[in-house]
Amino acid sequence: MPTLAAAKTSNAGYCPSYLPVAVIFGGTSGIGQAITQTLAEYLKGRVHIVIVARNKVAADNIIASLPKPADSEAAGSKYEFMACDVTLMKGVHAACRELSERLPKINFLVLSAGVFAFTGREETEEGIDKKMASRYYSRWAIINGLLPSLRKAKEAGEDASVLSILGAGMGPEVDLKDLGLKKGYLRGIAG
């Protein structure tokens, strides 16, 4: 497993010859926001990022803070917001249809949207528990709905990746000197 420094160096050197398209569900807070900001920073604004979330005000503030591309070769670079509540499957399916129609491809699909609740089962208007909808059903529906767009990127010889973040911060503190869990395997997986 590479060190954190090696990963940061590799990320800093990432400069694809094509314009990457990233779709980030849950990009207005937490890890999704950090991924949005880091990707825009490393690519120096030479990227098309779609933030898919509920909070337009938060998305607009994040978008305003992102770097703009410096070169004229960055045609197509942009940041945009798409409203979607991942607890409603009809909204997830509609968002996937629109993204598939509008985007020529997707290189990076990030799934970090979620809901925070201390209560038990809370049903949506579709009869699905909100936590189950955001943590499981929506993720399957999003990947299934956008898989053709990911395949288009792959078929063009470009990167095509999906990152699903679930339950971040729920385990023990990460030992950055033992990311491969060579020293603390049981502690790392058992929590």
pLDDT digits (tens, 9 = 90+) for 110-133: 999 877 666 777 888 998 888 888
pLDDT value for 99: 98
* Pairing verdict, β 78-83 and 108-111: unpaired
pLDDT tens profile 43-102: 999 999 999 999 999 999 999 999 988 775 567 899 999 999 999 999 999 999 999 999
Tokens representing residue 128 in the block: 């699905």
The yes or no reply on domain 16-117+125-168 and CATH 3.40.50.720 is yes
Angle at 96 between CA 32 and CA 160, to 5 degrees: 60
Segments making up each domain of the chain, as ranges? 16-117+125-168
The closest of 105, 109, 103, 110 to 152, measured between CA atoms, is 105
Residues in the chain, total? 191
Q: With 70 as the cut, is the pLDDT of residue 190 above it?
A: no
